[in-house]
Amino acid sequence: MPLFPTERSVRTTPEGLLWEPSDRWVRGRKGEVTVVDSKHPVLVWEPDVPVPCYSFPREEVRTDLLQQARNPTPGRHTGSQIFYDLLAGGEVLENAAWTFPAADLAGHISFEWFWRRGSGLDHWYEEEEEIFIHPRDPHKRVDALPSSRHVRVEIDGTVVADTRRPVLLFETGLPTRYYLPREDVRLDLFEPTDHSTGCPYKGTAEYWTWRGEGEVPRNILWSYPDPLAPAAAVKGLLAFYNEAVDITLDGERLQRPRTPFSDTLTPSRTR
């Protein structure tokens, strides 16, 4: 039965890949060189990878800038791929592109994103909007909702935040994040760092580290000073990693969640 235009068709390959055609116009650049200009991209999800990548028809890729990789990296992606080095802007970017072995994706090429891997194409656009880190997942939602719930945050028994005017950020696949007004956070107990991260849904975050005693991960506190539209309500507010602090919500102590971030939150020091 044919699908209606508003329905989505996610397909599975024998290799365990999920893929879905996209209607978005996608372009990828290395510096000033446009390497990809595609109106027929495909979103691909690899097993155990929580975010998708794009794969593009060869005819919409500057294949003249690709050469078979001199030092391929088998195992980085699903299946026995062919890897390519990219020659652009006077640079050779090793393993910047690859193909999946799936028959469904024959004739398609995928690329690394610089801000995710530290190599690959460094500017990506969906229509006329620049996007970062990885493609946005059409099956993922980000909702930032003002609330009057009572949120209290403790670190090693010290109350570091207490508010009844949080913004709750609900993001598919992650625990609820509690964004708090600065006036309701003991920011004097933290010091700013030069760490930053990017998110295709929220923007670029700045971070603070705990100044007190105890084994507390660095960069435990963050804020989006200029968030993207889906998260505009959290502008300038502060959030903690639920994975490493104690949060009490309306009088109920929440269990610390286990997430992909848990293993990266290693204690910084003990005083």
pLDDT > 90: percent of the chain:
73
What value does the mean pLDDT take over residues 189-214? 93
Two structure tokens written together for 229:
């539209």
Residues 198, 109 within the same domain: no
pLDDT of amino acid 33:
94
For residue 19, what is the domain's CATH number?
2.170.150.40
pLDDT of amino acid 3:
43
Residue 260 has pLDDT above 80, yes or no: no
Residues 95, 162 within the same domain: no
Hunting for tokens 């933290």 — which residue is that? 190
| Domain encompassing residue 56 | 11-131
What value does the mean pLDDT take over residues 85-112? 92
Q: Which positions ≥6 away from 168 have C-beta within 8 Å?
A: 144, 145, 147, 149, 176, 177, 178, 179
Residues 147, 127 within the same domain: no
Residue 105 has pLDDT above 70, yes or no: yes
Residue 224 has pLDDT above 90, yes or no: yes
CB atoms near residue 158 (< 10 Å):
14
Residues 87, 148 within the same domain: no
In a domain, 157, yes or no: yes
pLDDT category at 117 given cuts 50, 70, 90 is: low
In a domain, 1, yes or no: no
Q: Tell me which of 66, 101, 131 is where a domain ends.
A: 131
Residue 84 has pLDDT above 60, yes or no: yes
pLDDT (tens digit, 9 = 90+) per residue, 44-65? 999 988 889 999 999 999 999 9
In a domain, 269, yes or no: no
Residues 119, 49 within the same domain: yes
Residues 97, 184 within the same domain: no
pLDDT (tens digit, 9 = 90+) per residue, 138-178? 999 999 999 999 999 999 999 999 999 999 999 998 999 99
What value does the mean pLDDT take over residues 100-113? 93
Residue 2 has pLDDT above 50, yes or no: no
Q: Tell me which of 90, 110, 131 is where a domain ends.
A: 131
In a domain, 247, yes or no: yes
Residues 83, 186 within the same domain: no
Amino acid identity for residue 20 in this structure: E
Residues 118, 52 within the same domain: yes
pLDDT of amino acid 270:
39
- Backbone φ and ψ for 53, nearest 5 degrees, come out as -125, 165
Distance in angstroms (rounded) separating the CA atoms of residues 143 and 202: 10
In a domain, 137, yes or no: no
Distance in angstroms (rounded) separating the CA atoms of residues 268 and 271: 10
pLDDT > 70: percent of the chain:
93
Burial of 254 (0-12, 13-18, 19+ CB in 10 A): middle
Residues 124-146 as b/e (b if ≥16 CB within 10 A, e otherwise) read bbbeeeebbbbbbbeeeebebee
Number of folded domains that form the chain: 2
Q: Pick from 267, 167, 163, 173: which is nearest to 212 by CA? A: 267
Higher-pLDDT residue of 215, 187: 187
In a domain, 136, yes or no: no
Distance in angstroms (rounded) separating the CA atoms of residues 180 and 112: 35
Task: Give the three-state DSSP class for 153.
Answer: strand
pLDDT of amino acid 6:
44
Distance in angstroms (rounded) separating the CA atoms of residues 100 and 180: 43
pLDDT (tens digit, 9 = 90+) per residue, 6-47? 445 889 999 999 999 999 999 999 989 999 999 999 999 999
Residues 113, 148 within the same domain: no
pLDDT category at 106 given cuts 50, 70, 90 is: very high
For all residues of the chain together, what is the average pLDDT?
90
pLDDT of amino acid 76:
86
Q: Rounded to 10 degrees, what is the CA torsion of 69, 72, 75, 77?
A: -20
Strands 108-111 and 91-99: antiparallel
Residues 81, 159 within the same domain: no
Q: Which of 112-126, 186-200, 227-241 has the lowest mean pLDDT?
A: 112-126
